[in-house]
Chains A and B, each alone.
Chain A
């Protein structure tokens, strides 16, 4: 690959890293793993949940960010397969979630994002958005959202 093309792609990645997720604005679309690849002529994205209402907003926001940076010719392509998984949330994204008060997805014991205790219980398997469940910490008594493994 020519150096200039590579630089262009890196620039596009940097632009996308500043596009926030509309539901969880501390995370960028890159942190969430929504952006699957960047090529000279296109950005490939994948929806999180099939019915996530944020999907259309995300595409619009990415379009606006690319347009604003002068990349009007780059098109946005949506793919479904392989299906999105929370494993694609970057380690940086997981930290941002925790700092925001949402427990990041984990296959081990759930940790309270407020006090760090693992003495937690599920209140409701569905939360305020399809991707979250409602939990409560028995140690500090605080309720919190858990980003579900998916």
Chain B
């Protein structure tokens, strides 16, 4: 498996990845970078919002809705700032509701369907563990606004990670059925972990300027935290699977379009509608 090249390599001369090389000027790069951060939070927030009123228990319902709120709050800050940087009069709402699927820059992990509760928690654990490490680095970003957002959100993400970690352990080390479902959830979501650490041109460009993070710097830490939780959950370590890339360049799974159709319906149907 490991010997296979990742699907959608960024450097392809033709085909996937070739038509939308990131902008090379500082401002354009910062804008693209902010979209990555904001879209991750926005799309996962929307996914978790789907649980509102449908979670397995009222406590879980509250947890997921609150995590969703935190994520949408992060998205608001990142995307509003992206709009400022872009300077074309778009704010966070315009970026969230009036871009189409190819213009989204979130990782593939966050757009994956909720599946069952175990799959949702597998996704949350794999994402929040990464986001916590990332924001820990971004809190020291050379860009003061990114640093402030990351520093503030870090406290909240710490909570998300802890909650998801506890559920991974509880379900993994639970009944035969909960264990099977958690293992399957991790298998589904695990394919999208390599993308979280992908250092493409834009990621390198931002890291060199001290604005972004060198993702490789905390890969070992991430793997150690993940394996520790899985061991506690009496589950097998994450299987090595062929990496699937592309989200950062707008090549998404079929699931994102459906998510956006729901999320953007109202503002697209009633443009300019306000409360």
A99 on the interface (CB 8 Å rule)? no
Per-position binary interface string of chain A over residues 19-48, scored 1 when its CB falls under 8 Å from any chain B CB and 0 otherwise: 000000000000000000000000000010
Q: Is the CB of A51 within 8 A of B74?
A: yes
Which residues of chain B (128-157) have a CB below 8 Å from chain A?
Answer: 144-145, 147-149, 151-153, 155-156
CB-CB nearest in chain B for A82: B151
CB-CB nearest in chain B for A55: B73
B118 on the interface (CB 8 Å rule)? no
Per-position binary interface string of chain B over residues 58-74, scored 1 when its CB falls under 8 Å from any chain A CB and 0 otherwise: 11001101111111111
A81 on the interface (CB 8 Å rule)? yes
Per-position binary interface string of chain A over residues 112-150, scored 1 when its CB falls under 8 Å from any chain B CB and 0 otherwise: 000000000001111111100010000000000000001
A residues less than 8 Å from B163 (CB atoms): 125-126
Known: A50-B152, A80-B152. A125 touches B63 (CB 8 A): yes
B residues less than 8 Å from A126 (CB atoms): 59, 62-63, 65-67, 163
A91 on the interface (CB 8 Å rule)? no
Q: Is the CB of B148 within 8 A of A51?
A: no
Distance between B119 CB and nearest chain A CB, rounded to angstroms: 20
Distance between B61 CB and nearest chain A CB, rounded to angstroms: 9
B residues less than 8 Å from A129 (CB atoms): 66
Distance between B224 CB and nearest chain A CB, rounded to angstroms: 25
User: What is the CA–CA distance of A149 and B63 in the complex, to the nearest angstrom?
Assistant: 16
A101 on the interface (CB 8 Å rule)? no
User: What is the CA–CA distance of A130 and B77 in the complex, to the nearest angstrom?
Assistant: 17
Q: Is the CB of A50 within 8 A of B62?
A: no
User: What is the CA–CA distance of A59 and B58 in the complex, to the nearest angstrom?
Assistant: 31
A residues less than 8 Å from B76 (CB atoms): 51
A64 on the interface (CB 8 Å rule)? no
User: What is the CA–CA distance of A52 and B71 in the complex, to the nearest angstrom?
Assistant: 11
Distance between B184 CB and nearest chain A CB, rounded to angstroms: 26
What secondary structure prevails in chain B residues at the interface with A?
helix
How many B residues have CB within 8 A of the partner chain? 29
A residues less than 8 Å from B77 (CB atoms): 50, 80
B residues less than 8 Å from A100 (CB atoms): none
Which residues of chain B (53-109) have a CB below 8 Å from chain A?
Answer: 58-59, 62-63, 65-74, 76-77
B residues less than 8 Å from A49 (CB atoms): 69-70, 73, 156
B residues less than 8 Å from A150 (CB atoms): 155
Q: Is the CB of B149 within 8 A of A80?
A: yes
User: What is the CA–CA distance of A82 and B144 in the complex, to the nearest angstrom?
Assistant: 12
Q: Which of A47, A83, A128 contacts B155 (CB 8 A)?
A: A83
User: What is the CA–CA distance of A125 and B63 in the complex, to the nearest angstrom?
Assistant: 7
A residues less than 8 Å from B74 (CB atoms): 50-51
Q: Is the CB of B73 within 8 A of A52?
A: yes
Known: A83-B151, A150-B155. A50 touches B59 (CB 8 A): no
A residues less than 8 Å from B147 (CB atoms): 81
Per-position binary interface string of chain A over residues 62-87, scored 1 when its CB falls under 8 Å from any chain B CB and 0 otherwise: 00000000000000000111111000
Those 5 A-B pairs whose CB atoms lie nearest each other, nearest first = A51-B73, A50-B73, A51-B69, A124-B59, A81-B148
**Chain A interface (Cβ < 8 Å from any Cβ of B):** 47, 49-53, 79-84, 123-130, 134, 150
13 A-B pairs within 8 Å (CB atoms) are namely A49-B69, A50-B153, A51-B69, A52-B73, A80-B152, A81-B148, A81-B151, A124-B59, A125-B159, A125-B163, A126-B65, A130-B66, A130-B156
**Chain B interface (Cβ < 8 Å from any Cβ of A):** 45, 58-59, 62-63, 65-74, 76-77, 144-145, 147-149, 151-153, 155-156, 159, 163
Given contacts A49-B73, A125-B159, A130-B69, 5 further A-B contacts (CB under 8 A): A51-B68, A51-B71, A53-B69, A126-B59, A134-B59
